[in-house]
Amino acid sequence: MNVIETALPGVLIIEPNVFGDSRGFFLESYQATRYQKLGIDLPFVQDNHSRSARGVLRGLHFQVTKPQGKLVRVVSGEILDVVVDFQPGSETFGRYEAVVLSAENHRQLYVPPGYAHGFAVISESADFLYKCTDYYDPSDEAGIIWNDPLVNVAWPFSEPLLSEKDRHWPTLEQYVESLS
């Protein structure tokens, strides 16, 4: 597999080996020993699958005291996946990494614990699968508003379809102020 390091520490783009012929294809989506050699050594405890329509934006989410590492991929459709460093004091605070994940490119993205994460669907629909290193806890969930002016993510559209909670997350600046 090919591994691409990003500008955010620990965030990796993983291109698995795909073996295909006229019958279809085969790829190994996860193998503990190989991923441990990449530094992805926390145990995965939960797998999630979401389906979303074109224009849906989910995020930017994180858990405060039980941060989740995520290994994400798309098995149908195409998304723009975004990771944001929201940790005050970090050298890359306020910066983001964006990568297109699709059923065609088979790419995966590893998001270590401690980053905000979100995605936008750019195909008709998308099936998004992700492994998590900690359990989802709704009482621990937080987020940064998707269109935060400091982060300034280059989303593929200006009026996404959002959940009610995703409409009301604070800006990065407001979130940091709330920590004091």
User: Which residue among 35, 110, 130, 175 is the active-site one?
Assistant: 130
Q: How far is CA 165 from the centre of its chain?
A: 18
User: Which residue among 35, 61, 96, 117 is the active-site one?
Assistant: 61
61 is catalytic: yes
Q: Name 44's Cβ contacts closer than 8 Å, sequence gap at least 6.
A: 30, 71, 131, 132, 133
CA R_g for the chain = 16
For 138-174, give one letter per residue: b (16+ CB within 10 A) or e: eeeebbbbbebeebebebbeeebebeeebeebeebee
Strand partners, 54: none
Strand partners, 59: none
Q: Are 115 and 62 in contact (CB under 8 A)?
A: yes
CA distance 122 to 155: 10
49 is catalytic: no
Return the sign of the alpha-carbon dihedral for residues 89, 95, 101, 107.
Answer: negative
Residues with catalytic roles:
61, 130
